[in-house]
Amino acid sequence: MLRLLFLLLPNLVFSQASLIDYPHPFHSTYTNSGIVVSQNYLSSDIGKAILDKGGNAVDAAIAVGFSLTATLPRAGNIGGGGFMQVFIEKDKTVITIDFRSMAPKLATREFYQEAKEKDDDVTRKGYKAIAVPGTVAGLFKAHELYGTIPMSDLIQPTIDLLEQGIPITQDLYLAINKGRYIQNDHESNKIYKENLSLGGKLKIADLVKTLKIIQVSGRDGFYKGEIADLIHEQMIINDGLIRKEDLASYEVNLYQPIRTSYRGNKVFAMGAPSGGGIVVLTALNVLECFQLSQLTPNSARTYHLIAEAMKFAHHNRAKYVGDPSFSKIPYDMLLSKKLACEKAREINLKKASSPKQTARTGSKINDSYKESKDTTHYSIVDKDGNAVSVTYTLGYSFGSGVTIPGTGILTNNQMNNFAHSYGIDDSYFRSSSPANKLEPLKRPMSTMTPVMVFDAEGSLKLITGSPGGSQIPGVILQVLINNLEFNLDIGAASMVPRIHQDSQSLSLEYEKFLSDDTLRILESYGHKLELSDTMGSTQSIEIIDGMRFGYADLRRPNAKVSVQ
């Protein structure tokens, strides 16, 4: 018997060694039941707890949406807005919910053009920068459509967290210290900066009060009554533009997602007022005209083709995309496969094209349309296969910097996302886009786009999304290409070094750890390279034969995959 054991041992050891080897270090977390992926570990756990109680993916998404206003205050919000994509497995329904922030009725181009002459930051900080928030309305609309657990139960975990105190991690500590505009606001300073200590606790008593009002009074508890009165009063005191009537009249919009096909897969994205969905789908259409599978995901040729496709796609969103309630969006043209392949034929495989840099005067315009990277995304699939993909934002980190006294509500600066230079400069820049010009009660264009991918048989295959401002579409595009074209699993697909190319920039931005050889080849093609910070923070779920594989991007700390 002992002899037999010694004879078997070498084979046993070899077998075990081979079993624990992996092709790369970016391991997903998997389950055949419910899964939640968000940018904060506490919020992911809250979503999982809702699934454990029998809630569906929408219930979990609502709970996560409320919780991030406490756990990730620089981006999570009830004072901002965003987009949600929902898939219901039973009847294969896919819808998008637009709860984007909206311009107040008093907001006009003339008002902001005059204000920006005195202070160019007027649309970025303070009360004039705040658009009517849509998040609470969006979460209640999702619950009205698909929720199964009482709304008060979905809000309670956030109240519990706030009463216990949110742990001040290094990430939260640094974010508060670097918060661009919160130092300008007395209330925000009192909440976030006073007594700030690494490892301490963040408690916001007024936010607890607000959430308890919403628990009892529902959506009207936010958009009417005491909270609306406080917002209205502070707006008047501080020369802001939002009034009670704006809050009371805010409506959530429901749309069909826009879509394209790629290598037999169906890719669903957010339509207008998202420009991000247009960019992702347009770029996919261009890239499908090339045989990328003959390349590798991190080759110079692959990055070059992605960059060229992105120039065309970003140009389209800059020129044609705005609030669909105010202008017709030419989807047939923008998503045309024929037009995309015509554009692909114009791409030189070894030479970078030059984006337009000048207006008709020949002088470069200082484009003031700056998109913040401080957004957040989360993805959820429940045990029954229902799925939710959500991207929402305050705009800049901590939004406008303003917290409405008596409410704990940190507010957005989404008035910055309109094209405020429209009518002044006949330029190529987004700041003068006619489709995104400011009009009262209009929603500004956004690059946010939750994405879902289905295989040829209609089965859900992939959910993803990302923060990152103008980098969002490129980040998502590269995850999709890495997964759908190069067959990388979601961990590897997420961690390939990224590039960013806009239609309005001379530079191709790149992440650290692109190889020197790749960079030299890109330079030889004529790309002007610029080293970037990390790009995006995708929170993704891949589904293979019913198994759900979640991956939280390593580019930002404290993200987590929580599974049942």
| Active site residue ranges | 375
The Cα–Cα gap between 71 and 75 comes to: 9
DSSP state of 368: -
Where does residue 509 fall: left (phi above 0), alpha (psi -120 to 50 degrees), or beta otherwise?
beta
Q: Which residue has the tokens 């007024």?
A: 206
**Sign of the alpha-carbon dihedral angle for 154, 157, 160, 161:** negative
Structure tokens at 177: 């210290």
Contacts of 526 (CB under 8 A, 6+ apart): 351, 352
Asked if residues 159 and 208 have their Cβ atoms less than 8 Å apart, the reply is: yes
Helical (H) or strand (E) element with 60? helix 57-71
The Cα–Cα gap between 65 and 84 comes to: 10
Structure tokens at 159: 């109240």
Closest by alpha carbon to 104, among 378, 438, 355, 447? 438
The Cα–Cα gap between 176 and 172 comes to: 6
The Cα–Cα gap between 276 and 267 comes to: 13
Q: Which amino acid, one-letter code, is at 390?
A: V
Q: E strands along 139-273, which residues?
A: 166-167, 201-202, 253-255, 258-262, 265-269
The Cα–Cα gap between 408 and 131 comes to: 17
375 in helix, strand or coil? strand
Closest by alpha carbon to 348, among 525, 505, 529, 508? 525
Cβ–Cβ contacts within 10 Å for residue 179, how many?
24
Q: Which amino acid, one-letter code, is at 351?
A: K
The Cα–Cα gap between 319 and 397 comes to: 27
Q: How many Cα neighbours within 13 Å face the side chain of 446?
A: 36
Asked if residues 325 and 442 have their Cβ atoms less than 8 Å apart, the reply is: yes
